Amino acid sequence: MGMIETGETMLQRGQDSALLRFSLGAEYLKVGQTVAALTHLAEAVRLDPGYSAAWKQYGKALVAAGRPSEAVAAFDQGIAVAQSKGDVQAAKEMAVFRKRAAREHDQTDPGDAT
């Protein structure tokens, strides 16, 4: 049984957690199931708003879903969380992803630049 099947079984048994949702979201993102990834990653950050790795994956899933402006907001939140915890590397990584998402947003909607 793969990670996705195992995780979904755990959820069905009521074993919900931010880590489980993060893991499922990351796995769904790897296999290109963006809607499922977004569902689980959104729940991960809802369950634990201080989970910077989940914010990073959530932002990446939003980019994959063609929602770059929402990704920028997710990366902003993740950067703030990482900085508050002193996780400099995670903040730097998300800053790079944020810059790419902002650039993609500007390309898809140039009239919405602020």
Please give the model's pTM, rounded to 2 decimal places: 0.90
CATH number of the domain at 13, please: 1.25.40.10
Containing domain of residue 10, as a range? 3-112
Q: Cα dihedral angle (48, 56, 101, 112), rounded to 10 degrees?
A: 10
pLDDT at 1: 72
Number of separate domains in the chain: 1
Residue 86's pLDDT is: 95
* Phi/psi at 98 (5° precision): -65, -45
pLDDT of 34-92, one tens digit each? Answer: 999 999 999 999 999 999 999 999 999 999 999 999 999 999 999 999 999 999 999 99
pLDDT band at 113 (very low <50, low <70, confident <90, very high): very low
Residue 108 banded pLDDT, cuts 50, 70, 90: low
